[in-house]
Amino acid sequence: MIAKPYFTIVMPVFNRPVSVRRAIDSCLAQDFASFEVVVVDDGSGDGTAEAVAGYDDPRVRLILHRTNRGVCPARNTAIRASRGQWLIFLDSDHEMLPGCLSSICRHIAEGGPICRYGFQYLFDDGRVSPDPMPPESLLGYTEWLRWIDYAPWTDALWATRRDCFEHCLLPESFALEFSYFLNFARHFQSRMVALALAFQHTDSPDRLSYMAPPANPEMVKRKAQDQAADWQSVLADHGDSLRKLAPRCYEAILRNAALANLSAGNRPQAWRTILAALLFRPGSPRAWATLLAVLAGPWAALALAKLRSEHRRRSKRFPRADASLDDFSGEVRLQIARN
């Protein structure tokens, strides 16, 4: 065991015994030796924990969640247990490309006092993400907001200085990490590097792009409540800035907040947020469509999410860099953990 490794690779996992080994193997094959892999099994019930525990390598550490808590709490658990100077988020359906850690180390050494670096993913369908990259390589709060207005949800391989998490952790709920990225950008700068250092597979179960509503209505409601609360916190903390610098994203968040509140059973808040979206952009067809969903009730929203998920599965469509947050409304509303 390395007492103080340079990197901690944070890897949440849920019910993926095969793909998690592929991800861990890609870490152990790196030519940079000073790292640890902290795997958090988020309540798996299919032998995933046993697959990770089978590694006879002190650099691989396993932490267990007794129940499924979601990808963000799983990452937070790994963050708290980490010993590295820099933390890298690598999901269980990802792989590090050869030389990944060495390249990240080199950019850190040459980059000066930057708190976070973002690198690109190469997908197994030929895409690269983030794409488009932001026009500025160094992103503060203003640059981040302007970027997400036309590229709101793109995957990047993030390497973050450990002490940053003393100020910004991910949501301790089933909510997505959108609020975390905004909070981080408000406090710290990030440098984006147009270099693909990791590979992302799309064949693993429970990916965000393949999700369908779960059979348990109570779990649907709980996850919707978590996401609704997080959207409301985004609007409270960043709404004014989003309205000015990222107006399309702001409207999409209002629509998603309405749908999440609808699925959570909070129809008064759903009405308030969708009316705010219509007042902000009266000519938006998507805002009017969301209003119709609010009128129809939560089961119409769930059916729409299922149809969108099935359409993406059949057409092999995945989140695009030029998509608005509306393209994720069903998945965001339900928040099926993709860890």
Quick one: pLDDT band at residue 13, thresholds 50, 70, 90?
very high
Residues near 75 by beta carbon (within 8 Å), at least 6 away in sequence: 10, 12, 40, 89, 170
Angstrom distance (rounded) from CA 331 to CA 335: 5
Q: What mean pLDDT do residues 21-38 have?
A: 98
Cis-peptide into 5, omega within 30 deg: no
Q: What mean pLDDT do residues 157-183 have?
A: 96
Angstrom distance (rounded) from CA 16 to CA 7: 23
**What is the secondary structure of 58-96 as a DSSP string?**
TTEEEEEESS---HHHHHHHHHHH---SEEEE--TTEEE
Where are the strands (E) in the chain, listed by range? 7-13, 35-42, 60-65, 86-89, 94-96, 116-123, 128-129, 138-139, 157-161, 190-200
Q: Which of 10-14, 80-84, 139-143, 329-333 has the lowest mean pLDDT?
A: 329-333
Angstrom distance (rounded) from CA 294 to CA 154: 28
Is residue 206 pLDDT above 80, yes or no? no
Give the per-residue pLDDT at 2.
66
- Between the two ends of the chain, the Cα-to-Cα distance in Å is 26
Q: Is residue 44 classed exposed, middle or buried when 0-12, 13-18 and 19+ CB atoms within 10 A define those classes?
A: buried
Give the per-residue pLDDT at 251.
97
Is residue 314 pLDDT above 80, yes or no? no
Is residue 299 pLDDT above 80, yes or no? no
Give the per-residue pLDDT at 331.
39
Give the per-residue pLDDT at 311.
54
Quick one: pLDDT band at residue 293, thresholds 50, 70, 90?
confident
Are the C-beta atoms of 43 and 67 separated by less than 8 Å? Answer: yes
Is residue 277 pLDDT above 90, yes or no? yes
Handedness of CA 79, 208, 182, 230 (dihedral sign): negative
Give the per-residue pLDDT at 61.
97
- Average pLDDT over the chain, rounded to an integer: 87
Q: Which of 69-73, 273-277, 284-288, 331-335 has the lowest mean pLDDT?
A: 331-335
Give the per-residue pLDDT at 300.
63
Give the per-residue pLDDT at 233.
97
Higher pLDDT, 326 or 296: 296
Q: Which of 203-212, 236-245, 275-284 has the lowest mean pLDDT?
A: 203-212
Higher pLDDT, 270 or 210: 270
pLDDT tens-digit readout, 84-104? 999 999 999 999 999 999 999
- Which domains are present in the chain? 7-200 (3.90.550.10), 208-334 (no CATH)
pLDDT tens-digit readout, 235-274? 999 999 999 999 999 999 999 999 999 989 999 999 999 9
Angstrom distance (rounded) from CA 225 to CA 70: 13
Quick one: pLDDT band at residue 315, thresholds 50, 70, 90?
very low
Is residue 290 pLDDT above 50, yes or no? yes
Q: Residue for token digits 């503060």? A: 140
Angstrom distance (rounded) from CA 307 to CA 303: 6
